[in-house]
Structure 1
Amino acid sequence: MPEIIKRSKALCVSPLKASSTVGAALAFLGFNRAIPMMHGSQGCTAFGKIFFVRHFREPIPLQTTAIDHVSAVMGSQELVVEGLRTLCEKHRPDLIGLPTTGLVETQGADIRQAVRAFREAHPEFAAIPVVPVSTPDFSGAMESGYAATVKAIIEELVPSADEAGTQPGRRRRQINVLAGSHLTPGDLEHLKELIEGFGLRPLVLPDLSDSLDGHLPEADYSPLTIGGTLVDELNTLGDALATLVIGDSMHGPADVLKAKTAVPDHRFTHLMGIEAVDRLILTLSELAAAPVPPRIERQRQQLQDAMLDCHFMLGMSRLAIAAEPDLLVGLTEMLAGFGAETVAAVSPSNAPVLQHAQCEQVKIGDLEDLELAVRANRAELIITNSHGVHTAERLGLPLLRAGFPQYDRVGGYTRTWIGYSGTRATLFDLANLILSLEKGEIHPYRSTLKQWPTEDTQASVKHAA
Structure 2
Amino acid sequence: MTDFGKVAKAAAVNPLKLSPALGGALAFLGIDRCLPMLHGGQGCTAFSLVLAVRHFRETIPLQTTAMSELSTILGGADNVEQAIATIYDRAHPRVIGICTTALTETRDDDISAELPFIVERHPEWQDLDVILASTPDYAGGLEVGWSRAVTAMVNALVEPAGRRRTLRRVNLLAGSHLSPGDVEELRETIEGFGLRVIVLPDLSGSLDGHVPDDFVPTSLGGTPADLIRGMGESVITLAIGEQMRPAAEALAERTGVPFTVFDRVTGLEAFDAFVAALMEVSGNGPNERLRRQRSRLVDAMLDGHFYFGGRKAAVAGDPDLALAMSGILADLGCTVARVVTTAATPAADRVPAESVMVGDLDDLERDLGPSPALIVASSHAKALSDRLGASLFRAGFPVYDRLGAPQRVSVGYRGTRDLVFALGNLLMEHDDAHPHPAGEDPGERESDGRHFDATLAAG
Q: Is the TM value for this pair above 0.5? A: yes
Counterpart Cα distance in 2 of 1:81 and 1:333: 46
1:202 to partner: Cα distance: 1.5
Letter in 1 for 2:60: I
Counterpart Cα distance in 1 of 2:437 and 2:109: 65
Report if the CA contact (8 A) 1:271-1:277 is conserved. Answer: yes
Letter in 2 for 1:183: L
Report if the CA contact (8 A) 1:81-1:114 is conserved. Answer: no
Identify the match of residue 427 of structure 1 among 396, 420, 425. Answer: 420
Counterpart Cα distance in 1 of 2:324 and 2:365: 21
- Which residue does 2:66 correspond to in 1? 66
Letter in 2 for 1:97: G
- Which residue does 2:296 correspond to in 1? 302
Report if the CA contact (8 A) 1:318-1:343 is conserved. Answer: yes
- Which residue does 2:452 correspond to in 1? none
- Which residue does 2:34 correspond to in 1? 34
Report Cα offsets for 1:82-126 as digits up to 9, x if no partner: 111111222221110011011111111111133133123322213
- Which residue does 2:383 correspond to in 1? 390
Letter in 2 for 1:323: G
- Which residue does 1:380 correspond to in 2? 373
The yes-or-no answer on 1:262 pairing with 2:256 is yes
SS across alignment from 1:104: helix
- Which residue does 1:405 correspond to in 2? 398
1:214 to partner: Cα distance: 0.4
The yes-or-no answer on 1:329 pairing with 2:316 is no
SS across alignment from 1:4: strand
CA 1:107/1:301 → structure 2, altered by over 3 Å: closer, same or farther?
same
1:377 to partner: Cα distance: 4.9
Q: How does 1:96-175 map to 2 (within 5 A)?
A: 96-162=96-162, 166-167=163-164, 170-175=165-170
State TM-score, norm by structure 2: 0.93
- Which residue does 2:172 correspond to in 1? 177
Counterpart Cα distance in 2 of 1:210 and 1:117: 33
1:389 to partner: Cα distance: 0.7
Letter in 1 for 2:186: L
- Which residue does 1:460 correspond to in 2? none
Report Cα offsets for 1:378-414 as digits up to 9, x if no partner: 3211000011011111112110000000111111111
Letter in 2 for 1:259: E
CA 1:312/1:107 → structure 2, altered by over 3 Å: closer, same or farther?
same
Root mean square deviation, CA, Å: 1.6
Max Rg structure: 1
Report if the CA contact (8 A) 2:377-2:394 is conserved. Answer: yes
Q: How does 1:130-279 map to 2 (within 5 A)?
A: 130-162=130-162, 166-167=163-164, 170-219=165-214, 221-279=215-273
Letter in 1 for 2:175: G
Report if the CA contact (8 A) 1:80-1:114 is conserved. Answer: no
Report if the CA contact (8 A) 1:344-1:377 is conserved. Answer: no
Report if the CA contact (8 A) 1:27-1:146 is conserved. Answer: yes
- Which residue does 2:57 correspond to in 1? 57
Report if the CA contact (8 A) 1:84-1:118 is conserved. Answer: no
Report Cα offsets for 1:191-240 as digits up to 9, x if no partner: 11111111111210000001100001111x11101110010002211111
Counterpart Cα distance in 2 of 1:53 and 1:22: 12
Identity of aligned residues (%): 42
1:282 to partner: Cα distance: 1.4
Counterpart Cα distance in 1 of 2:138 and 2:7: 14
The yes-or-no answer on 1:357 pairing with 2:351 is yes
Structure 1 residue runs without a partner (length 5+): 446-465
Counterpart Cα distance in 2 of 1:403 and 1:196: 26
1:355 to partner: Cα distance: 1.1
SS across alignment from 2:168: strand
Report Cα offsets for 1:18-70 as digits up to 9, x if no partner: 11000000110000000011000100000000111110010001000001111
Aligned residues: 438
- Which residue does 1:452 correspond to in 2? none
Report if the CA contact (8 A) 1:94-1:128 is conserved. Answer: yes
**Structure 1 stretch 204-213 or stretch 260-269: which is displaced more?**
260-269
Report if the CA contact (8 A) 2:244-2:261 is conserved. Answer: no
Report Cα offsets for 1:255-298 as digits up to 9, x if no partner: 01011111222220010110001111111122111121111111
Report Cα offsets for 1:333-368 as digits up to 9, x if no partner: 211111111101100222122111101221111111
The yes-or-no answer on 1:10 pairing with 2:10 is yes
Report if the CA contact (8 A) 2:371-2:388 is conserved. Answer: no
Letter in 2 for 1:398: S
CA 1:82/1:295 → structure 2, altered by over 3 Å: closer, same or farther?
same
Counterpart Cα distance in 2 of 1:51 and 1:207: 20
1:373 to partner: Cα distance: 4.6
- Which residue does 1:437 correspond to in 2? 430
Letter in 1 for 2:317: A
Report if the CA contact (8 A) 2:97-2:132 is conserved. Answer: yes
1:444 to partner: Cα distance: 9.1
Report if the CA contact (8 A) 2:3-2:354 is conserved. Answer: yes
SS across alignment from 2:138: coil
- Which residue does 1:456 correspond to in 2? none
The yes-or-no answer on 1:340 pairing with 2:334 is yes
Counterpart Cα distance in 1 of 2:424 and 2:119: 57
Counterpart Cα distance in 2 of 1:395 and 1:441: 16
Letter in 2 for 1:211: S
Report if the CA contact (8 A) 1:17-1:142 is conserved. Answer: yes
Report if the CA contact (8 A) 1:20-1:142 is conserved. Answer: yes
Counterpart Cα distance in 2 of 1:64 and 1:444: 60
1:440 to partner: Cα distance: 7.5
